[in-house]
Amino acid sequence: MARNINPEEHNEKRNQIIDAAQRLIYTKGYQQMSIQDIQTELGISKGAFYHYYDSKAALLEALVDRMQNQALAFIQPIIAEPQLSAFEKLTQYFSTVANWKTAQKDYLLAILRGWYMDDNAIVRQKVVDSGMERISPIIGQIIQQGIREGVVHTQFPNQVSQVVLSLLFTMGERLALMMLALLDEPDLHARQTGLAQITEMVAAFTDALERALGAASGSIVIFDTNILKEWLEPESDTSQPPTMQPQHPHNEKEISE
């Protein structure tokens, strides 16, 4: 006989595992964290873990999905603000996401060091597809507003949001990989060269974005490269979770199979 599943209880227990994984990633790093560590943290069996996540990669996907939800929660008020112009919304969208990521830099770096492993290629693609589906309508709203304001000029208003997101996702991946390389680079001159390359790359993607939108040159700021200084500071040794990483208000009750 099939087992009846209570959706609320099921989600609650999945979130308990995600919360434990967040703490362990923050203190140990994603690559060093094992499923056994999560079992020990929560006092559960291997079977209990696999009942909710069929692999470590599936857990990683859930962690990134949670981050996407949190980022969208910060973005929605910007999109709904009637006093902001289209490009003001776009600029605030970019800056809000960048500041949100910087506020939890150490946690994100702990994930990123394992994110680009070959084993996680399928997860990365699934996350990109999910992000396109979630964010494309938001970008589409801004583009439609820009068209009404006469600052966006495109023959493809229904498709250009996906073009914009493709540019942003590609830039984000290149930026992350270059930042990780810089963090591991001990030579000061090489770091300075790397920073200059990142600045040039951001400028190139900004130009491509403005051209895709038919916008005036210099009308959009994708990324303030000054924020890179904060990312290149030494990672902290604190074991506390990032302050802008909301936790689910549940009790740490044992997860049973």
Q: Per the structure block, which two tokens stand in for 213? A: 């939108």
Q: How far is it, in rounded angstroms, from Cα 161 to Cα 153? A: 13
For residue 156, what pLDDT is reported? 92
The 10s digit of each residue's pLDDT in 33-63 is 999 999 999 999 999 999 999 999 899 999 9
What's the angle, vertex CA 22, arms to CA 16 and CA 25, rounded to 5?
140
pLDDT at 1 over 80: no
217 vs 19, 88, 94, 206, 213, CA distance in Å? Answer: 44, 15, 17, 9, 11
The pLDDT confidence band at residue 4, using thresholds 50, 70 and 90, is low
For residue 131, being part of any structural domain is answered with yes
For residue 202, what pLDDT is reported? 93
| Between 217 and 5, residue with greater pLDDT | 217
For residue 235, what pLDDT is reported? 55
What's the angle, vertex CA 226, arms to CA 221 and CA 229, rounded to 5?
145
For residue 36, being part of any structural domain is answered with no
The burial class, CB within 10 Å (0-12 / 13-18 / 19+), for 58 is middle
The pLDDT confidence band at residue 243, using thresholds 50, 70 and 90, is very low
Asked if 103 and 242 touch (Cβ cutoff 8 Å), the reply is yes
The pLDDT confidence band at residue 150, using thresholds 50, 70 and 90, is very high
For residue 232, what pLDDT is reported? 76
Query: Domains in the chain: how many in total?
Result: 1
For residue 246, being part of any structural domain is answered with no
For residue 8, what pLDDT is reported? 83
CA pseudo-torsion sign 40, 42, 47, 50: negative
For residue 35, being part of any structural domain is answered with no
For residue 34, being part of any structural domain is answered with no
For residue 130, being part of any structural domain is answered with yes
Question: Quick one: what percent of the chain has pLDDT higher than 90?
Answer: 52
Which CATH number belongs to the domain containing residue 221 in this structure? 1.10.357
Q: What is the pTM of this model?
A: 0.80
pLDDT at 101 over 60: yes
3-state secondary structure of 126: helix
Segments forming the whole domain that contains residue 94: 57-231
Q: Within its chain, how far is the Cα of 43 from the centroid?
A: 29
Q: Per the structure block, which two tokens stand in for 8? A: 């609320």
Asked if 200 and 194 touch (Cβ cutoff 8 Å), the reply is no
For residue 197, being part of any structural domain is answered with yes
3-state secondary structure of 65: helix
The 10s digit of each residue's pLDDT in 69-83 is 888 888 899 999 999
Which amino acid is present at 63? L
Q: How far is it, in rounded angstroms, from Cα 19 to Cα 23? A: 6
CA pseudo-torsion sign 170, 172, 174, 176: negative
- Average model confidence (pLDDT) across the chain: 86
For residue 49, being part of any structural domain is answered with no
pLDDT at 161 over 60: yes
